[in-house]
Structure 1
Amino acid sequence: MAVSRSGFSSRMGFIMAAAGSAVGLGNIWGFPTQTASNGGAAFVLVYLVLAFCLAYPAFMAELLIGRYGQANAVTSLQKMSKTLWQKRFAFLVGFGGIICAALILSFYGIIAGWMMSYAIEPVLKLASFETGASWVVTHSLTRNLMFTSLFMLATIFIIRHGVENGIEKWSKRLMPLLIVLLVLLSSYVFTLEGASAGLDAYLNPDISSILDPNLLISALGQAFFSLSLGTSVMVIYGSYISKKENLVTLGAQVTLIDVSIAFLAGLLIIPAMYVAQAQGVTIFAEDGSLVSGSSLVFTILPTLFQSMGDVGLFVAFAFFVLMSIAALTSSISMLEGPVSYAVERHNLKRETATTIIGLIILAFSMVIVFNLSFMLDLVAIISTQYGQPIVAMLCCVFVGWIWHRNDVLAEIKEGNSDVEHSVFWKIWPWYTKFVCPTAIAVVFIHSL
Structure 2
Amino acid sequence: MNNSDTNSTQREHFGSRIGFILAAAGAAVGLGNIWGFPTQAASNGGGAFLIVYLAMILVVAFPMLVVEMAIGRHGQANPVDSMRAITSNPFTKKLAGSVGWIGLTVPCAVLAFYSIVGGWLICFLLAALCEIIGLFDAALWFKGFSVERNVFGTVAFYLLTILIVQGGVKQGIEKWSTRLMPSLFVLFGLLFVYIMMQQGALQGLKHYLIPDFEKVWDRKLILAAMGQGFFSLTIGGCSMLIYGSYLSKKENLPQMAMKVTLVDTAVAFIAGLVVMPAMFVAMQKGVQIYAEDGTLLSSDTLVFTVLPLMFESLGFVGLVFSVVFFLLLTIAALTSSISMLECPVALVDERIQVGRKKTSWALGALIALFSVYIVYNFAELFGLVAMVATQYLQPMAALLFCLFGGWVWSRAGKIKELEQGCPDFQMGWFGKLWPWYVKFVCPILVITVIWASFG
Same fold by TM-score greater than 0.5: yes
The range that moved more, 235-244 or 291-300, is: 291-300
Matched, 1:69 2:75: yes
Aligned residue number for residue 158 of structure 2: 152
The one-character-per-residue Cα deviations of 1:277-323 (angstroms, maximum 9, x if unpaired) are: 01111000011111111101111111111110111100100000000
Q: Which consecutive aligned stretches of 4+ in structure 1 deviate over 3 angstroms post-superposition?
A: 1-4
Pairwise CA RMSD: 1.2
Matched, 1:254 2:243: no
The 1-side partners of 2:305 and 2:413 are apart by: 52
Matched, 1:134 2:140: yes
The 1-side partners of 2:239 and 2:364 are apart by: 16
Aligned residue number for residue 291 of structure 1: 297
The 2-side partners of 1:143 and 1:313 are apart by: 20
- TM-score when scaled to structure 2? 0.97
Amino acid at match of 2:437: Y
Aligned residue number for residue 186 of structure 1: 192
Matched, 1:206 2:212: yes
Amino acid at match of 2:296: L
What is the CA-CA distance between 1:345 and the residue it aligns to? 2.1
Aligned residue number for residue 401 of structure 1: 407
The one-character-per-residue Cα deviations of 1:184-230 (angstroms, maximum 9, x if unpaired) are: 10111111110111011101111111121211111111111111111
Q: For residue 443 of structure 2, give the secondary structure of its aligned residue in structure 1.
A: helix
The range that moved more, 423-432 or 2-11, is: 2-11
Matched, 1:430 2:436: yes
Amino acid at match of 2:401: C
Aligned residue number for residue 420 of structure 2: 414
The 1-side partners of 2:64 and 2:425 are apart by: 18
Amino acid at match of 1:245: E
Aligned residue number for residue 168 of structure 1: 174
The 2-side partners of 1:310 and 1:319 are apart by: 14
Aligned residue number for residue 320 of structure 2: 314
Amino acid at match of 1:160: Q
The 2-side partners of 1:234 and 1:357 are apart by: 20
The one-character-per-residue Cα deviations of 1:339-360 (angstroms, maximum 9, x if unpaired) are: 0011112223111111111001
What is the CA-CA distance between 1:247 and the residue it aligns to? 0.5
What is the CA-CA distance between 1:82 and the residue it aligns to? 2.7
Q: For residue 418 of structure 1, give the secondary structure of its aligned residue in structure 2.
A: coil
- Number of residue pairs the alignment of both structures matches: 448
Residue ranges of structure 1 left out of the alignment (5+ in a row): none
The 1-side partners of 2:359 and 2:387 are apart by: 27
The 2-side partners of 1:201 and 1:384 are apart by: 29
The 1-side partners of 2:137 and 2:128 are apart by: 12
Matched, 1:231 2:237: yes
What is the CA-CA distance between 1:38 and the residue it aligns to? 1.3
Matched, 1:25 2:31: yes
The 2-side partners of 1:237 and 1:247 are apart by: 12
Percent identity between the aligned chains? 47
The 2-side partners of 1:148 and 1:174 are apart by: 20
Q: For residue 300 of structure 2, give the secondary structure of its aligned residue in structure 1.
A: helix
Q: For residue 294 of structure 1, give the secondary structure of its aligned residue in structure 2.
A: coil
The 1-side partners of 2:18 and 2:331 are apart by: 19
- TM-score when scaled to structure 1? 0.98
The 2-side partners of 1:139 and 1:389 are apart by: 31
What is the CA-CA distance between 1:86 and the residue it aligns to? 1.1
Aligned residue number for residue 378 of structure 1: 384
Matched, 1:300 2:300: no
Amino acid at match of 1:96: I
The 1-side partners of 2:293 and 2:107 are apart by: 36
Instruction: Within 5 Å, give how 1:80-95 maps onto structure 2.
Output: 80-95=86-101
Residue ranges of structure 2 left out of the alignment (5+ in a row): none
1:195 to 168, 193, 201: 201
Amino acid at match of 1:82: S
2:397 to 384, 391, 399: 391
What is the CA-CA distance between 1:5 and the residue it aligns to? 2.1
Aligned residue number for residue 101 of structure 1: 107
